[in-house]
């Protein structure tokens, strides 16, 4: 059976880097602990393109095409806030979650707040939009709350929470007990 894995996390946690690592290293112990199948595919367009809400709707077709071709693959999708900001309207996540016989999972990437804050300040948009450490912490909490809602209300599974502060470290498989 195919599974869709949404790689979630605040900007600068390395969602794209993690996806590339998983695709390049499907047999490493760390990736195997997450329960991924031997065939790991990324929705490439979700990594480098389709950053705006209207464009993100195209991911649905890309994923459906992959699901038609594959029978037992882990398909990684770089989550963007626009995939689920309107949780009950044109939500790409929930549309894909309703596909029969496809498992939906979440990975949450997190980092120590000081490290994440340092990384975010290097983003070109950080200062232009007047972001702050407090806003960063608000976004982190919103992402965690959203992931909990997907798990509790829509049947998503938690593949794992990963601390990306210094390499990859599996924190756990339940978002409800982590403190990062």
Name the β-bridge partners of 108: 8, 161
**Quick one: pLDDT at residue 179?**
45
CA distance 94 to 150: 9
Q: pLDDT grade, residue 34 (50/70/90)?
A: very high
Q: Please write the tens of the pLDDT for every residue from 128-139.
A: 877 888 988 988
Q: Please write the tens of the pLDDT for every residue from 70-79.
A: 999 999 999 8
**Quick one: pLDDT at residue 180?**
41
Is the predicted pLDDT of residue 100 greater than 50, yes or no?
yes
Contact present, 8 and 151 (Cβ < 8 Å): no
In three-state secondary structure terms, 83 is helix
Contact present, 75 and 4 (Cβ < 8 Å): yes
In three-state secondary structure terms, 42 is strand
Q: What is the mean pLDDT of residues 15-31?
A: 94
Is the predicted pLDDT of residue 6 greater than 70, yes or no?
yes
**Model confidence, pTM:** 0.88
Break the chain down into helix, strand, coil percent, rounded to 5: 40, 20, 40
Looking up tokens 């978002």 gives: 175
Q: What is the mean pLDDT of residues 42-54?
A: 62
Q: What is the mean pLDDT of residues 35-59?
A: 72
From edge to edge, which strands make up the β-sheet containing 40-42? 40-42, 74-78, 3-9, 103-110, 157-163, 169-172
Q: What is the mean pLDDT of residues 59-64?
A: 87
Q: Is 152 exposed, middle or buried (0-12, 13-18, 19+ CB in 10 A)?
A: exposed
Stronger pLDDT, 124 or 106, i.e. the higher one: 106
**Quick one: pLDDT at residue 21?**
95
Say which CATH topology domain 3-172 has: Rossmann fold (3.40.50)
Contact present, 62 and 45 (Cβ < 8 Å): yes
Token readout for 122 is 């290097």
**Quick one: pLDDT at residue 90?**
53
């Amino acid at each position: 059976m195919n599974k869709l894995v949404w790689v979630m996390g605040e900007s600068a946690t390395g969602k794209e880097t993690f996806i590339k690592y998983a695709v390049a290293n499907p047999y490493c112990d760390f990736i195997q602990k997450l329960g991924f199948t031997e065939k790991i595919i990324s929705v490439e367009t979700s990594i480098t393109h389709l950053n705006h809400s209207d464009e993100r709707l195209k991911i649905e077709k890309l994923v459906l095409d992959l699901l038609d071709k594959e029978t037992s693959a882990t398909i990684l999708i770089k989550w963007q806030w626009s995939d689920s900001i309107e949780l009950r309207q044109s939500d790409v996540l929930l549309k894909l979650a309703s596909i029969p016989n496809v498992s939906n999972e979440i990975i949450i990437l997190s980092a120590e707040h000081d490290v994440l804050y340092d990384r975010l300040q290097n983003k070109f948009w950080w200062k232009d939009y007047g972001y702050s450490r407090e806003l960063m912490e608000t976004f982190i909490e919103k992402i965690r709350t959203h992931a909990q809602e997907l798990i509790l209300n829509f049947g998503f599974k938690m593949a794992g929470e990963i601390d990306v502060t210094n390499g990859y470290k599996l924190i756990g498989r339940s978002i409800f007990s982590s403190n990062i």
